[in-house]
Homo-oligomer: A and B are copies of this chain.
Amino acid sequence: MNFRRRIPSLTALMTLEAVLRHRSFTAAAIELGVTQAAVSRQIAALEEEMGLPMFVRKHRAIEPTAECLILGTTLAQSFANIADTLDAVRFSQQDVVTIGATVAFSSFWLLPRLAEFRRENSGVQIRVVSQDARIDLDAGQVDIAIRFGIPPFNDGTVIASRGDVITLVCSPDYLQRRKAGPLSADDELIETDVEDRSWLSWSQWIAGLDPPFPGKPSLRFNHYTETIFAARAGQGVALGWGVLVQTFLDDGTLVALDQRRISAEGRYNVVIPLKSRRTVAIDRACSWLIASLHDG
């Protein structure tokens, strides 16, 4: 299967195919963008290497040999297959942009805003990969990732970054049902199990209270989306990441429990892979994400 050993100069073979199609060295040279002399040399070298004539030289004309006709048919087909596959591979993903993000970011921030991007870029298709596990940027499956954490990252380039502020949020109904005043042990705390160290947990929030109380979450979820769903359903108090819950604060399905705010250690980062393909669509998506992340 050592093709390098079995196949002579592919440049010469490509030249042969063109000469055969044109039945002329000079016409083939024009198509190939080289001189007639270059074509003459390639064919002569090929005939020499193969020990077989490919063309009978006549006066101001050439005639292909039988072998040349056989070989030329295979070459034309093979080069066409290669060219077609190259085209398919190069352009099939031209207008698709794959964006990876956490489930929460995808659900609360990205998806509600995609309609706006689509309006401005009608030919571009966005494919969203949501997963709370860290996205492998080296795999080439994702064009852009929105990753929570502390930059920089060794597998990608950060092109936009935004911090967040965390508040306590609950439903208006829950706020009305609870005793007035600061958070206390009577409150139902809804916790999210997140492995990321830069993510804020209830223990960290309580540790900063004065005086602290032995509060313990009564509900635990492994996705922040579920935590917020439960809070909006009036089942307790959740840590509200401003960027993620802003839409619910805006629509009134969540309210702030008190005035305390903690700045998050981690940030939301728009990251592109170190070795990323570059298409117009990807560039547009990047520009839009940068603007949107900073605006709202």
CB–CB A2/B31 < 8 A: yes
Chain B residues whose CB sits within 8 angstroms of the CB of A279 once the complex forms: 51
**Known contacts A58-B138, A88-B70; is-contact A14 B4 (Cβ 8 Å):** yes
Interface size on A, residues (CB 8 A): 54
A87 to B31 alpha-carbon distance, docked (Å): 28
CB–CB A90/B6 < 8 A: no
Chain B residues whose CB sits within 8 angstroms of the CB of A14 once the complex forms: 3-4, 7, 10
Query: How many chain copies?
Result: 2
CB–CB A52/B6 < 8 A: no
CB–CB B87/A82 < 8 A: no
A80 to B51 alpha-carbon distance, docked (Å): 21
Whether a CB of chain B sits under 8 angstroms from the CB of A32 is: yes
CB–CB B6/A50 < 8 A: no
CB–CB A51/B278 < 8 A: yes
Whether a CB of chain B sits under 8 angstroms from the CB of A247 is: no
Chain B residues whose CB sits within 8 angstroms of the CB of A11 once the complex forms: 10
Interface segment among A71-79, A113-121, A187-195: the answer is A71-79
